Structure 1
Amino acid sequence: MKPNSIITLTINPSLDKSTHFNSLIAEQKIRCEKPRYDAGGGGINVSKAIAKLGGSSTCVFTSGGSSGEMLEELITKEGLESTVIKTKNWTRENFIAFENATKSQYRFGFPGNEISDDEKDKIIEVVSKVKADYLVISGSLNEGLPTDFYQKIAETAKASGIKVVVDTSGESLRKVLETGVYLIKPNIGELAKLIGVDHLELPEVEKAAKQLISNKSAEIVVVSLGPEGAILVTKDETHLVKAPKVEKKSTVGAGDSMVGGMVWALSQNKSLKEVIQIGVCCGTAATMNEGTQLFKVEDVKRLFEGMKG
């Protein structure tokens, strides 16, 4: 693998198929428009976002079967540098359908197929050889993988002096925080669970995030607030950024776009205030497009200029 300042890891990628249809009627055949295919999965989307901003990263992902081959072709067409870890089982597919009559979006996500012990070892081996400033671990785990698998990856990367960025949820996130990482991006509900409470109000978020930081779970905690924006918290700084008001068409890839924007900004030595501003602009811009297309860079630039003004 060639050295790159940013590496993204997607253990459970997906071949995303999206389409339009007129209306959803039970028991009737629903005729759909010609489908669009996109390479999907947390880390892959982060790499795509970084590329849109003019940056570069190496996208590490698993791939199996004919769906995996198509995934690889799509990533090649995106011009992304990549390292492929072959798997016996096929890469999963996801399906996104947009109903024209109601402007409703339906998202069907499928679990990833099992990863063998040899394939697990290969993933750890690839990570152990990474030379980078940042490793972004993003997305869900395949069925059968232990909840501490991301934790093992984080430990391996940290041993090489790499700053680990994690965007996942549930027990996988809780486990990785035992090791301590550079940056995490929970939503407000996930943050509440991490500190052992049922619910958090906005004024309580900063204190909750600083609790994780004081426990050495993360150096930077970015809490996604949905349409309200996000808040970035470190030991010394707090920045709340409101999301610009736009016409929302899809939320697919918005979180990944936000992470991609933030990691790109970090790699460009931007201030932490700019890091969260750029992240929020990328996430917001992604909601302006249908399906799985992420954002248009011109939308990000326009939103960022408006935010600075």
Structure 2
Amino acid sequence: MVASGSLPPGVPEDFYARIARTARQHGARCVVDASGPALTAALAEGVFLVKPSRRELEAHVGASLDTEVRQVEAAAVLVADGSAEHVALTLGEAGAVLASRSGVERLTVPPVRVVGTVGAGDSFLGAFVLRLAQGRSAAEALRAGVAAGSATAMTPATELCHRDDVERLERELLEAAGR
């Protein structure tokens, strides 16, 4: 189950936490992309994957995450305390960090001409979840997410990524990693 976005007026702040609880009761995984009290409540319940931006995680932890060390530590704490099994911290032009019990991985974005960033985080999450649903590893999902977010940044206004761009960028990221 994916719980994403701002809650509409009148929806309780613990709505995503309720979704996380229901998912767990039914043996499903819950993915959350939220901010503020909705994010805090969901993490208190525990989720499979959370995808905060740097700004959202800074607000959650109440501290600046202006260095790579602080970013990694904040993501790793959410895993260690059981708030999330996986934390995919998106950092815009600085890439993304993936923390899980098996460790931390950081990916930089491929070089692209940025036209607009609207929808880049949503594209990241969509590609990440798709790769997991396809049975791929979390590292492969991270690569797809970074590729999709970068591909979306190449498009104007609210246009989303194009499949051929995502696949090309995934290949480039794989080649850059030397795998």
Q: Same fold (TM over 0.5)?
A: yes
Shift of 1:193: 2.8
Runs of at least 4 residues off by over 6 Å: none
Residue number in structure 1 paired with 2:91: 225
Report 1:44-83 matches (<5 A). Answer: none
CA distance in structure 2 between the aligned counterparts of 1:242 and 1:275, rounded to whole angstroms:
14
Residue number in structure 2 paired with 1:44: none
Higher helix share: 2
CA distance in structure 1 between the aligned counterparts of 2:156 and 2:58, rounded to whole angstroms:
31
Report 1:243-258 matches (<5 A). Answer: 243-258=109-124
- Unmatched runs of 5 consecutive residues or more in structure 1: 1-134
Report 1:94-113 matches (<5 A). Answer: none
Q: Which has the larger radius of gyration?
A: 1
Shift of 1:158: 1.5
Residue number in structure 2 paired with 1:144: 10
Residue number in structure 1 paired with 2:174: 308
Listed one character per residue, the Cα deviations across residues 65-90 of structure 1 (whole Å, up to 9, x for unaligned) are: xxxxxxxxxxxxxxxxxxxxxxxxxx
Residue number in structure 1 paired with 2:135: 269
Larger RCO: 1 or 2 (CA < 8 Å, sep 6+): 1
Higher strand share: 1
CA distance in structure 2 between the aligned counterparts of 1:271 and 1:142, rounded to whole angstroms:
33
User: Identity over the aligned pairs, expressed in percent?
Assistant: 39
Residue number in structure 1 paired with 2:148: 282
Shift of 1:291: 2.4
**Secondary structure at 2:117 match in 1:** coil
CA distance in structure 1 between the aligned counterparts of 2:128 and 2:64, rounded to whole angstroms:
28
Listed one character per residue, the Cα deviations across residues 149-203 of structure 1 (whole Å, up to 9, x for unaligned) are: 1111221121101100000111100011111000001112322332332444112
Shift of 1:283: 0.5
Q: Does 1:197 align with 2:60?
A: no
**Secondary structure at 1:203 match in 2:** helix
Deviates more, 1:202-211 or 1:296-305: 202-211
Shift of 1:269: 1.6
CA distance in structure 1 between the aligned counterparts of 2:9 and 2:137, rounded to whole angstroms:
39
Shift of 1:211: 1.1
Aligned length: 175
Contact 2:65 2:71 in 1 (8 A): no
Residue number in structure 2 paired with 1:61: none
Contact 1:192 1:200 in 2 (8 A): no
With the length of structure 1 as denominator, give the TM-score of the two structures.
Answer: 0.55
CA distance in structure 2 between the aligned counterparts of 1:185 and 1:308, rounded to whole angstroms:
22
Listed one character per residue, the Cα deviations across residues 210-255 of structure 1 (whole Å, up to 9, x for unaligned) are: 2111211000001111111101010122111100111111211111
